[in-house]
Structure 1
Amino acid sequence: MSDYIWFEGIPFPAIDYQKEIIGEIRDKFVIRDEDTIILTYPKSGTNWLIETVCLIQNKGNPECVQSVPIWDRSPWIETKSGYQNLTNKEGPHLMSSHLPFHLFPRSFFRSKAKVIYVIRNPRDVLVSGYFFWCNTNLVKNTDSLTTYFEWFLKGN
C-alpha cells in the first residue's frame, strides 16, 4: 500500500493530511468542555454514528442532516480542512477522529469533553475497509483480499 504519509508510526492517507497539522493538533488544539468527539477505528461505523448524534442534537429534525455536509457537521480533527473548520468555528463542537491515543490532542485529557468511542469486530472492519479502498483511488495495491489482510495485520 502506498500514497501515505507516516507520522510517529501511523499511516495517514496523503490527501488532506499533513504531518505538521497532526503534530499541531496533538500539541496545540484546544478541546473544550462542551465538545463531543466521535472516536473510532476506520470503517467502524463512524458516519452512521455522526448521523445519529446530529439527529439527537437536533431533536430528530432531519433538516440539518439533509442540508449540511457531514464534514461540516462533524469535522475530522486530524485533517487539514477539519482542523481549519474547527479552529474558525464557535463551539460547542461535534468532531470526529481516527487518531490513536498518543496522537490525540493533549488538551482533551484536561477537559470534560464527551467521547463516544466505537469498537467494531475486526473481521467486519477488514471486509468493510477492503471494499471501501477498492472503490477509491486513495490507496494502491488492494488487488486481493489476501494482500489487504496482510497489510491490515501489520497495523495499517
Structure 2
Amino acid sequence: MTDGYLWFEGLPFPRVGWSCEGLKEACTKFVIKDEDTVMVSYPKSGSHWVIEILCLIHSKGDTKWIQSVPIWECAPWLETDVGYKMLNEREGPRLLASHLPFHLFPKSLFTSKAKVIYLMRSPKDVLVSGYYHRTVTKLTKNPESLEQYFQWFLEGNASVLAVCNLHPCAYPAVSYGSWFEHVRGWMSMRDRENVLLLSYEELQKDPRSTIERICQFLGKKLDPEELDSVLKNSSFQVMNQNKMSNFEILSETFTTKNFKITRKGICGDWKNHFTVAQAEAFDKFYQEKMAGFPKGLFPWE
C-alpha cells in the first residue's frame, strides 16, 4: 500500500477490501462460465443501478431478493476479496460485477459464452460523481478539492509511471486507472454477440425500452406487470430508500456516517461544477484520447 492506494500491475485500487493476492487470483485463476452474466463498468458509471435491474429481471420483478440481500452479495464484485470468495463458492448461473480494465480481466471470459454488459457514462459526470464518492469513503486517498480531482482524472497514472519509471506514490491517481483507457479497452469487444453496450444516459432517457433491450439480450421474457415492477423498483427514488441497495448498511470501516451510494441519479451534473475553462480543457483532452471511434457511438457526445 502506498500513498492511500493499493497498487497492482501498475494500477491503483482501493486499499480496503482489496489485496494484491486477491487481485492476482481473480485476474489469473477465476473461471467465467457460459451461464454467467457479467456486468463491467468504470467506477461511478451507474453500476449499482444496472445490478438492481438485473436482479429484478432475474426474479421477474419480485422484490424479496433485493430487499433482503445486500446488493454486493446479489452480484459480488470479482476483484474484491469477499466477492471473489463468494463467487467461487456459488453454483449455477452467477451474476457478477467488476470494474477491472480489459487487459486484467480473467482470460476465461474471452472464450466463454457468458453474457457481458458493459456500462458507460459521460466521463464528465463520472468525474464529478467520483469526486463526491471519494470525499465520503475511506477506500483511497481523498482529493483536497474538485480542481485537484479534475487533474487526477485527466492525468491518469499508469502511462506516466511506465514512461518515467517512477514509484506509484510520486503521482496522484484515480482508482482503476484511466477512464479513457478503460473504455477504449472494452470497446474492442463491442461487436461480439454476447456483449451488450449500455449507457447511463439511455437508461435515464428511456428506462423501459432499455430494460426491454436487456431482457432480450439475456433471453428473459417478462410480462407487462413484471416489467412494470422492474421499472418501478429500480428507480432512483426506490433504490434510495432500500437499505440493501443504497449501501446505508455498509460498515463505517469503508465510509463516513450516513453514507449512501445514491447521490443525485441525474445526467449532466458536471455543468453545475465545471468552469468554462475546465469544460474546454476536458473536451480537448477527450477528443485526443477517444480519436478513432465512429461518430455517435457515445450518447454524451
Q: TM-score if structure 2 supplies the norm length?
A: 0.50
In structure 1, what is the equivalent of residue 17 of structure 2? Answer: 16
Instruction: Map residues 96-111 of structure 1 onto 2, 5 A cutoff.
Output: 96-111=97-112
Mapped to 2, the partners of 1:146 and 1:53 lie a distance apart of 35
In structure 1, what is the equivalent of residue 124 of structure 2? Answer: 123
Give structure 1 regions of 4+ aligned residues with deviation exceeding 2 angstroms.
137-141
In structure 1, what is the equivalent of residue 36 of structure 2? Answer: 35
**SS of residue in 1 equivalent to 2:91:** coil
Bigger Rg over Cα: 2
**SS of residue in 2 equivalent to 1:55:** helix
In structure 2, what is the equivalent of residue 134 of structure 1? Answer: 135
Mapped to 1, the partners of 2:9 and 2:138 lie a distance apart of 24
In structure 1, what is the equivalent of residue 145 of structure 2? Answer: 144
Cα deviation for residue 89 of structure 1 reads 1.1
The structure that is strand-richer by fraction is: 1
Alpha-carbon displacement from aligned partner over 1:72-103 (angstroms, at most 9, x marks no partner): 10000000000000001112100000000111
Does the aligned pair in 1 maintain the 2:15–2:140 contact within 8 Å? no
Cα deviation for residue 25 of structure 1 reads 1.5
Alpha-carbon displacement from aligned partner over 1:48-92 (angstroms, at most 9, x marks no partner): 000011001100111111111111100000000000000011121
Indicate whether 1:90 and 2:91 are aligned.
Answer: yes
In structure 1, stretches of 5+ residues that fail to align are none
Mapped to 2, the partners of 1:17 and 1:55 lie a distance apart of 28
Cα deviation for residue 3 of structure 1 reads 1.5
Which range moves more in the overlay, 28-37 or 136-145?
Answer: 136-145
Which range moves more in the overlay, 75-84 or 14-23?
Answer: 14-23
CA RMSD in angstroms comes to 1.3
Q: Which amino acid in the other structure matches residue 117 of structure 2?
A: I
Instruction: Map residues 35-114 of structure 1 onto 2, 5 A cutoff.
Output: 35-114=36-115
**SS of residue in 2 equivalent to 1:59:** coil
Mapped to 2, the partners of 1:145 and 1:152 lie a distance apart of 10
Mapped to 2, the partners of 1:30 and 1:21 lie a distance apart of 14
Does the aligned pair in 1 maintain the 2:6–2:19 contact within 8 Å? yes
Mapped to 2, the partners of 1:33 and 1:135 lie a distance apart of 37
Query: Number of aligned pairs?
Result: 156
Cα deviation for residue 26 of structure 1 reads 1.8
Q: TM-score if structure 1 supplies the norm length?
A: 0.95
**SS of residue in 2 equivalent to 1:92:** coil
Mapped to 1, the partners of 2:36 and 2:114 lie a distance apart of 5
Q: Which has the higher contact order (CA 8 A, sep 6+)?
A: 1
Cα deviation for residue 37 of structure 1 reads 0.6
Cα deviation for residue 23 of structure 1 reads 1.6
Change (3 A) 1:100 1:139: same
Which range moves more in the overlay, 22-31 or 113-122?
Answer: 22-31
Alpha-carbon displacement from aligned partner over 1:20-50 (angstroms, at most 9, x marks no partner): 2212212211110000011000000000000
Alpha-carbon displacement from aligned partner over 1:92-130 (angstroms, at most 9, x marks no partner): 100000000111011111110001100100000000011
Change (3 A) 1:30 1:56: same
